Amino acid sequence: MAITAALAVGRAASAPAANAPSSQTSDHHSIALARMVQLAESKIGTVALGRNSDKGGFIDTEVEAPFGFHGKPWCAMFVSWAARTAGVRFYSANGIGRGVKPYMLYGASVARIYDWARNTGLARGRKYRAEAGDLVIFDSPHNTRSRYDHIGIVVAPASGGVIHVVAGDNTNPQPGGHNGVFETTDRTSSKVLVGYVALSAAHDVD
């Protein structure tokens, strides 16, 4: 579900250089998170034809198809595409998955991703200072079915009370545009921002 431009200090952005996570993670994990940011930024400006699909394009074939969905809200699937394609491999903060296999973050539901984050010790509240490569969860006022209904990738460390976010299924900050992949500048104090997934705090897989 997209957040409207009125809920963010929105701006359509050309893809800037990726900002590597600054937390104390291993080289592999930091590189993978930076690559995830780069991939997300590289798709800025990709738009859906209609609302939720581009029928044979990137959204349809690479974002939605792996989940067996077409024409559905795709912000969570976009995050999953970026993480998977970047090779983000990690154990959770509380060790779930350790010794078995990486506990991966792939999902088509924002609420389930945030539930996963709570279960694995990676959920953070509104006061968390996000790093590049973390995820941010929003509550769109247009969707009353769930409190957790929009997700994006933080592409620069939080600073001055704002975060820069790239998200799929986002409303074009410019009037009259289709939903797509866009960057917005969101206030950390915004009531629609409900929490974070601190991927920068996860343990790397050796």
Q: How confident is the model at residue 160 (pLDDT cuts 50, 70, 90)?
A: very high
pLDDT band at 184 (very low <50, low <70, confident <90, very high): very high
Exposure pattern of 158-182 as b/e (b: 16+ CB <10 Å)? beeebbbbbbbbbbbbeeeeebbbb
CA angle 54, 55, 56 (to 5 degrees): 105
Report CA-CA distances (Å) from 186 to 20, 27, 71, 141, 200.
20, 29, 26, 15, 20
When divided into structural domains, the chain yields a total of 1
Mean pLDDT of the chain: 81
C-alpha 151/C-alpha 54 separation (Å) is: 20
**Winning range, highest mean pLDDT, from 3-12, 97-106, 127-136:** 127-136
Range of the domain at 39: 5-204
For residue range 3-45, list pLDDT tens digits in order.
Answer: 332 223 333 333 334 444 444 456 888 899 999 999 999 999 9
The confidence score (pLDDT) of residue 183 equals 95
The pLDDT, as a whole number, for residue 119 is: 84
* Among candidate residues 48, 29, 43, 168, the one with its CA nearest the CA of residue 102: 29
Global pTM reads: 0.82
Could you tell me the CATH number of the domain that includes residue 80? Answer: 3.90.1720.10
